[in-house]
Amino acid sequence: MTVEQSDDTLRAPETIVIAIDGPAGAGKSTVGRALAARLELEYLDTGAMYRAMTFAALRRGVVEGDFDEVAAMAPTVDIDIDHDRVVVDGVDATVDIRGREVTEAVSQIAANPGVRAVLVERQREWVGRHGGGVVEGRDIGSVVFPDANLKLYITASPRVRAERRVREIGGNVDEVEASIIERDRRDSSRDHSPLTEADDAVVVDTTGLSIDGVIEHILRLLP
């Protein structure tokens, strides 16, 4: 430190963290990406990390229901997320992590406390490296960043979430709605970090709202 330096130059720039939680298909990703662009922050989809772990388990032949084996595997999996590109153990898994096989197995991998401990640390490290960010998941405001500047819990009715999913990837709306309800039940009833809104989260119900309307509403909430 030199005598010429003022206190201001020594202060680290403020790290802004916006936590977005909520059930699948509620519009978290769309809102998170738009918000990150508007605020010039990086965006992290933590669901992609759980999907990447699941991809690794399937590839390595680790049975997703074998608690100890999955927990032992977790620290050894190399996950590199750069914008939308996801590379797992050196293999581009961007497309496969959204496929049926991973989608069916991911809840079980995400319920493993060994996996969660490893990924929570990596999420914190990612945010530290990027100087903040808009971070989306299920436990971001409650567990990963309890001191986030803003916590949002984004939700929508199961029917609306099913209709959005069908528009994106096709399928039968009744079946998709039933699988959404089942996945919500699994994500909210697991023992470790179940999907739940943080006490100080702002609940945003996107049923019937346009994306622009949601973003404007959220920007007004920023401290």
Contact residues for ligand DC, defined by CB under 6 A: 24, 46-47, 50-51, 106-107, 110, 137-139, 187
Identity of the residue, 94 or 107, whose beta carbon is nearer to ligand DC in the bound complex: 107
Q: Nearest distance from residue 180's CB to ligand DC, in Å?
A: 10
Q: In whole angstroms, what is the distance from residue 151 CA to residue 145 CA?
A: 9
Q: Nearest distance from residue 119's CB to ligand DC, in Å?
A: 7
Q: Nearest distance from residue 20's CB to ligand DC, in Å?
A: 10
Identity of the residue, 75 or 216, whose beta carbon is nearer to ligand DC in the bound complex: 75
Q: Nearest distance from residue 58's CB to ligand DC, in Å?
A: 14
Retrieve residue 23's tokens: 């059930």
CA atoms within 13 A on the CB side of 196: 12
The DSSP result for 174-198, as a single string, is HHHHHHHHHHHHHHHH-SSS-S---
Identity of the residue, 59 or 192, whose beta carbon is nearer to ligand DC in the bound complex: 192
Contacts of 163 (CB under 8 A, 6+ apart): 173
Retrieve residue 99's tokens: 């496929």
Retrieve residue 156's tokens: 């929508």
Identity of the residue, 46 or 206, whose beta carbon is nearer to ligand DC in the bound complex: 46
